[in-house]
Amino acid sequence: MTPSCPPSTAEAGWLRRRGGEIALWLAVPLAVALFLPEYYLLATHVAALGLFALSLDLLVGYAGLLSLGHAMFFGIGAYTAGLLAVHGWGEPISGLLIAALVAGLVGFITSFAVVRVQHLAQLMVTLGFGLLVFEAANRARWLTGGDDGLQGMVVSPVLGLFEFDLFGQTAFFYTFVVLALCFIVATRVIDSPFGLTLEGLRENPKRMAAIGTPTAARLRQAYVFAAVFAGIAGALMAQTSQFVALETLSFGLSAEVLIMLLLGGAGHRYGGLVGAAVFVIARDLLSDLNPQYWQFGVGGVMVLVVLFAPGGVLGILRSLRQRLLPVARTSTAKAAPATPATKGGAA
């Protein structure tokens, strides 16, 4: 009875819409394996950091909750997987699950404090927790190796079959498959009533309370999801590089992942992946550059993107497509906002 409403049509065209996506997900690893095997390591980093950025997007882009301390969960996942592998628990998949569990648990505990406050205080509380965990790991040298990083990980073959090789082939495919599985789950989350609720919270928390949503509980749920995905991303990074650097917990990484999200486009399922690819590849290409030039360039790009392309790479692509294909009405209507702006509650 309502042919024009997107959620109804979404069902009918599912395979058509997802078909291209599935092809893309199969083509990318194949292309890396066939043409760019010397870039396995780089592609692994893109996949792990892309998952990390995706996890942050659930908070920042969808729920409108800005965190300055998200590296905390990445680092906790990395150290959990790392410590397990150092102390004889080398089986990677169970290591991954335990890391997800620990990150989720820490996320659950801290979520009460994070959603208790708003605005600047919320930024500061997320930042504060991140700094506290960083300091704790830095001081607990006996456990973490402090700023020398965690060494001596021994990771068993994946499924007992695929040994982590020197070329990084196993590492890449392992990371990519886990990323794909997490992406499927994240897509489910985003397309679900819960995902719609997060967008409602981003748009107007006051109205959400007025339709009966326990807003704090939903935000906490989103926070735990983000923590779990970030923990998995960190564990992947640790297992594939067999090393955990203290920087995985740092404010610098929390800022970098925000930059990736900005570059790709927040509030879009692929924003984090695209942003991570752009950032990691650019850093690799420009690694010979004087660090001052790199820092100045990153700063300059951030300023320019915020001013002129607030939707990031995907925002640019979207507006190009709209200009070239003027009648893309449904997708226009469903398009996520370029950037999540907090709407000031009207007094």
Partner 1 sequence: MSIALTTAGLSKNYGALQVTRAVDFSLPVGARHALIGPNGAGKTTFINLLTGTVPATSGSITLLGEDITGQRPDQRVKRGLARTFQVTSLFPELTPMQSVTLAVCERLGLTARWYKRTGEHRAALDEAAEILARLHLGHVGHLLTRTLPYGQQRIVEVAVALALRPRVLLLDEPAAGIPSGESAELFEVIAELPEDISLLFIEHDMHLVSRFASRVTVLVAGGILAEGTPAEIMANPEVRTVYLGNSEGHA
Partner 2 sequence: MLAILLTVLFDGLAYGMLLFLISIGLSVTMGMMGFVNLAHGAFAMFGGYVATTLMQRAGVPFLVTLPVAFALVALASIVVERLLYQRLYRRGPLDQVLFTVGLTFMSVAGITWFYGPSQQPVVLPAFLQGQVSLFGLEVGIFRLFLVAVGLLVAAAVVLGVERTRFGAKIRAAVDNPVMATGLGINVGGVFALTFAIGSGLAGLGGALGIQILGLTPAFPLKYLVLFLIVVSVGGLGSVGGALLAACVVGVIDMMTKYFLPEIGSFIIYAVMVALLMWRPHGLLGKKS
Nearer Cβ to partner 2, position 238 or 259? 259
| Longest CA–CA separation in the chain, Å | 66
Binds partner 2 (CB under 8 A): choice among 128, 146, 149, 157: 128
Nearer Cβ to partner 1, position 81 or 182? 182
Does residue 204 touch partner 1 according to CB under 8 A?
yes
Minimum gap (Å) between residue 212 Cβ and partner 1: 3
Minimum gap (Å) between residue 2 Cβ and partner 1: 4
Does residue 210 touch partner 1 according to CB under 8 A?
yes
Binds partner 2 (CB under 8 A): choice among 33, 93, 97, 127: 127
DSSP, res 161: T
Does residue 317 touch partner 2 according to CB under 8 A?
no
Give φ, ψ of 152 to 5 degrees: 90, 25
Does residue 4 touch partner 1 according to CB under 8 A?
yes
Side chain identity at residue 11, one-letter code = E
Instruction: Find the angle CA(45)-CA(46)-CA(51) to the nearest 5 degrees.
Output: 100
**CA 117 – CA 336 distance, rounded (Å):** 26
# chain residues binding partner 1, by CB under 8 A: 43
Does residue 5 touch partner 2 according to CB under 8 A?
no
| Site map 311..330 versus partner 1, x via CB under 8 A | -------------------x
**CA 56 – CA 225 distance, rounded (Å):** 10
Helix (H, G, I), strand (E, B) or coil at 104: helix
By CB under 8 A, which span of 163-171, 211-219, 249-257, 288-296 interacts with partner 1?
211-219
Tell which residue, 259, 283, 340, has the closest CA to residue 59: 340
**CA 159 – CA 162 distance, rounded (Å):** 7
Nearer Cβ to partner 1, position 169 or 342? 342
For the CA atoms of 188, 225, 204, 251, the dihedral, rounded to the nearest 10 degrees, stands at -130
Cβ atoms of residues 92 and 236 within 8 Å: no
Question: Which residues of the shown chain bind partner 1 in the complex (CB under 8 A)?
Answer: 1-2, 4-8, 10-11, 188-189, 191-197, 199-200, 203-204, 206-207, 209-215, 217-218, 221, 225, 330, 333-334, 336-337, 343, 345-346
